[in-house]
A and B are shown apart, each in its own frame.
Chain A
Amino acid sequence: MRAAFPFSAIVGQDEMKRALLIAAVDPKIGGVMVFGDRGTGKSTAARALAALLPPLGKGKPVPFVDLPLGATEDRVVGALDIERALGKGEKAFEPGLLAKADQGFLYIDEINLLEDHIVDLLLDVAASGENVVEREGLSVRHSARFVLIGSGNPEEGELRPQLLDRFGLSLEVRTSQDLDTRVEILRRCDAFERTPDAFAADWAKAEKKTLNKIAKAKKLLPELTVPDDVLRAASELCIAVGADGLRGELTLMRAARAAAALGGKTLVGVTQLRAVAPMALRHRLRRNVLDETGSTARIERALSELFD
C-alpha cells in the first residue's frame, strides 16, 4: 500500500478535517458520514487520519480497517475458522473485520453501494459496541468499539434516512473554486508523488503537532464542563431547525465538547456549538422534498437568528 498523504498537508476541507479530529478525540460521537463529489479528497482525508493517530497502549497502532466492497458477512462479523475445522477438526472462531476495528476506525468508501444487510449489521454493532456471533454452532461475543467513517456521492443514490440518522456527524465536501487553493492542492500532490519521503519529512512536524493536539484533547475531554446557557442554546437550536429526536442534541453537545477540547479550552462555549452545529444536525432535519433550501442553509439561518 502506498504511503498515506499527510493529514496536515490537506489543503482546505476544514469541516471534514475538523469532523475527523472530533471523531478521533471522542469515538462515542457515533461515526462520520462524508458526502461529496468525485475527486474532492474524501478517501485521502480518511486514510490520512489513520496514519496520523496516536498509538494505543503498548505502542499498538490505532486500527484503521478499510471495508472493501464485496466483503461477505462471515468476514465482517467473524466465523468458524474453516482451515482449522477441516484440517484439524477444531471448532475455533476466526475474528472478522469488526474485531480488527476494535478501538479504532472502520472506513467504508461508497457506503451507499454496500449491501444493505451489512450496513445494518455494522450500525447495530457500532451502536452497542459489541459483536455477538451466533452461527455454525459458535457462540461468541467480543468488544467492537469503533468509529464508522462512510463516504459516498449523493449522485450515486442516497443513503436511507433511517441509516443516515445513526451517523453522528455528516459532511458535504466540495472542491474549492479558488485558483490559488487549487494550485496549492496540485503542488502538494505533485510533490508527494515525486518524492513521497521528502514530502512526509517536510510535514512530519505538522503531523506531530496535530497528533499532540488530539492526545491533549483526549486528556482534556473528561474535565470539560458545559455551562447551562450553552446547553439551553443547543436545545433551542435543535427546536428551531426541527431536528428530530434526542440524538441530534446529544451529538451536538458531544461534538462541541470535543471541539472545545481540541481548541485547548476548559469550558464549552457557543462558539464551539456554532462551529459543529451544521455537521451534527444537517442530516437530521425533517426532509421537505418540495423545499429546495439545503439543510446547511437552514441551520446557518437558525444560528444567526439565535446568536447574532
Chain B
Amino acid sequence: MDPFGDALLAVRLLKRDPAGLGGMILRGAGPGRDAVLAELGPMRRLPVGIDDEALIGGRDLAATLAGQGGTVRPGLLAQADGGLLLVSMAERMSDAVAARIASVMDIGEVVIERDGAGARHPARFGLVLLDDGQGKERVPDRLAERLAFRFDLSDVRLMEQAPVTPALSRGTASSSNIAPVSGTPGQARGDGIRALASVSLALGIDSVRAPVMASRVASGLAELENRAEPNEADIATAACLVLAHRATRMPSAAEDDAPPPPPSSSDGESQIGDTLDDVVLEAVTAALPPDVLAAIAAGAGRCTSNSSGGGERRKSPMRGRPLGARAGLPRGGARLALIDTLRAAAPWQKLRGADLASGDRIAIRRDDLRIKRFETRADATTIFAVDASGSAAAARLGEAKGAVELLLAEAYVKRTEVALISFRGDSAEVLLPPTRSLTRARRSLADLPGGGGTPLAAGIDAARLLGEAVRGKGRTPFVVLLSDGRGNVGAEATMPAAKAFGASGLGAVFVDISNRPRSEGAELAAAMRARYLPLPRADAVGLRDAVKAAQ
C-alpha cells in the first residue's frame, strides 16, 4: 500500500486521458496532496457554489445588445474541454451542481438551453476533487462513481518519499511481483476483461463504469511502457487503482463455485483460466484502503453521500436556485432579471418610437422591469434520535420505526428531509444523514439493531451536532427524541448534554416512550427546552400524530 506512489502514477494516466478516466478524488490535506497537485500542474478551478450561468454558459448580453446576434458565452465546463478541473471542498458540492457536471461528463458536451440561448459546446474534461469531508461527509456519489481514482493521502508524510522517478512510481507494492505477460495478445485482453469483471463482482461493485474504467487504466499502463496490450501486471495494478476503493464487501471463498483454489504463489500454473482472476483479486484485497475496510466491517460498504436531497422549498427573492422572473422593482434585495426585462420591453420598442437599427437606446419603462425569483431549499429537516437500547423494548422500537416511516412518507410528498440517529451500547450513530429518500431510510431502519445500554447523553449530543450542521446549511432542523429518558451509560453526562442542547436553541420534542413515565423525563425535556410528550402506549400512528402536532 503506497497511496502516494499510486496517486503519482494515476496523475500520469489521468493527464493522458482526462475525460476517459473521469478524474480523481484526493482525500486528506497535507504535503502529500500538495505534491500530487503540483504534479498535476495548473488547472482551472471550479467553485462548489457555482451558478448555472458560469458553469454551463449563457447568453452574452453585451454582444446581443451591440447587435452581434446569437452570441453565447461558454461556461466553465466547456472552457475545461481537454483538461482538468479542480474542485476544493468537493464534499460541499450541491446535488444540483454535481448532477449537471455528471450529465456533461456522460455525453462529452455541454448543452445550453437557458435564458434565451441555445448552444452545444464540446466538454471532455477530468475532475480533481479535493475531499476534506468529516465523518460521513463525502463528495457527491454521482461524481465519485464517474472518477477512476480515489486516494487518501492524509497519512502521507513527504519525508518518506523517495525522489519520484517514472520507474519507481510504476506499480503498487502489492502488484509488483506479478509474472509478466503470457499467452497471445488477444487472449490476454480477453482474460484481462474477464478478471476485472470477476473481481468487481467479488468485491460487490455493481456499477459497470468501474471495470470499464479499470480496463482503460490497464491499457493506459501498457501505453506508458510502449506496449500494445496490457499484461497481467497492468490488469492487477489497474484493479488496485480503480476497484479497491469501491469495494463494498470482502471477497469470500464461499461465493465461488469452484473449490477453494490453492495459494497462487506456490502453484500458479495449475488452474488455467482462473489464475489471473485469483492473482488480481489477491492483489486488490491486499490493496483495500483502511477506510474502505472499516466501512465494510461496519456493514456500510456502500459509501453514502451527504445527499442533500430535497426539502420543502420556500420562494425567496434573495438566494437559492433561480425560479424564473416576475414583474417587480429591483429593491429590497431583489435582483433585476435583465433578459426578462429586455424581453418584456422588446415588443413595444416600435410603439415607443425607438429605432434600434439606427442605434437608438432601448426604451424600457418601469412596467417592463422583471426581478429574479429564487427558491431556497429545505425549510424543515426532522432529525429522529431513537433510543435503540435494551430498556426500550423491541416492540417500542418497532413503533418508533413505524412512526419514522409514516413521517417519511409524508416528507417525500411535502419534500422535507428526515435524518435518523440511533443510540445504544456506548455510542450514538447517524444511521441516515438528511435525506428525503424513502428507499434509503427504509434500508437503514431495517438495519436498526436493538439492545445494549442507553447512552442517552451521546444520543442527545449527536442530535445537537447534526441539528447544528443542518442549521448551518440554512435549514430549520427539528429534533424528535424517542427514549424512555433513563440513560445508564455515562448517565452523569445526560443532564449536561441536555443543557447544551437547550442552549443551542434547536426546536425539539422529547417523546417519553417508557411504560410508566416518571418526573425525570419532564426534567430532561425542560433542560433540553424541548416539548415533553409522554406517550406510554402510543403506536406508530399515534407517535406520528403527536410529532406532527408538536412540530
Contacts and interface: CB of A to CB of B under 8 A. Distances in A.
B307 interface: yes
A71 interface: yes
Contacts of B350: 89
B276 interface: no
Contact of B356 (A68, A89, A117, A287): A89
A39 B145 contact: yes
A202 interface: no
Contacts of B198: 179, 183
B194 A160 contact: no
Given A88-B357, A182-B200, A156 B95 contact: yes
A89 B115 CA distance: 19
Contacts of A80: 343, 346-347
A219 interface: no
Given A1-B107, A39-B207, A161-B413, A82 B342 contact: yes
B142 interface: yes
Nearest to B446: A292
A37 B206 contact: yes
B437 A70 contact: no
A110 B103 contact: yes
A182 B321 contact: no
Nearest to B308: A157
Given A86-B64, A110-B99, A155 B439 contact: yes
A208 interface: no
A186 B56 contact: no
A291 to B, nearest CB: 10
A5 B343 CA distance: 41
A300 interface: no
Interface string A68-91: 111111111001101101111101
Given A72-B113, A75-B114, A89 B413 contact: no
Given A66-B107, A83-B70, A157 B113 contact: no
Interface string B409-441: 100110100000000000000000001111110
Interface in B23-54: 52
Contacts of A97: 113
A289 B64 contact: no
State the majority secondary structure of interface residues on B: helix
B311 to A, nearest CB: 9
Contacts of A182: 197, 200-201, 208, 211
Contacts, number: 204
A38 interface: yes
Given A89-B350, A290-B405, A186 B208 contact: yes
A270 interface: no
Interface string B174-206: 000000000000000110011011101100001
Given A2-B108, A156-B307, A287-B409, A137 B206 contact: no
B261 interface: no
B540 interface: yes
A41 interface: yes
Contacts of B406: 289-290
Given A2-B107, A72-B115, A91-B347, A186 B196 contact: yes
B208 A73 contact: no
B541 to A, nearest CB: 10
Contacts of A82: 64, 116, 339, 342-343, 346
Q: Which 3 A-B pairs have the closest CB atoms?
A: A39-B207, A85-B346, A75-B113
Given A80-B347, A136-B343, 19 more contacts: A1-B109, A2-B107, A2-B108, A39-B209, A71-B113, A71-B114, A75-B117, A75-B118, A91-B346, A94-B116, A156-B437, A157-B437, A158-B412, A174-B206, A175-B206, A179-B198, A189-B212, A190-B193, A290-B402
13 contacts: A1-B108, A43-B106, A70-B52, A71-B114, A80-B343, A137-B347, A158-B438, A182-B201, A182-B211, A186-B193, A289-B406, A292-B442, A292-B446
Interface of B: 52, 55-56, 64-65, 67, 69-70, 95-96, 99-100, 102-103, 106-118, 120, 141-142, 145, 189-190, 193-194, 196-198, 200-201, 206-212, 215-216, 304, 307, 309-310, 313, 321-324, 339, 342-344, 346-347, 349-350, 354, 356-357, 362, 402, 405-406, 408-409, 412-413, 415, 435-440, 442, 446, 540
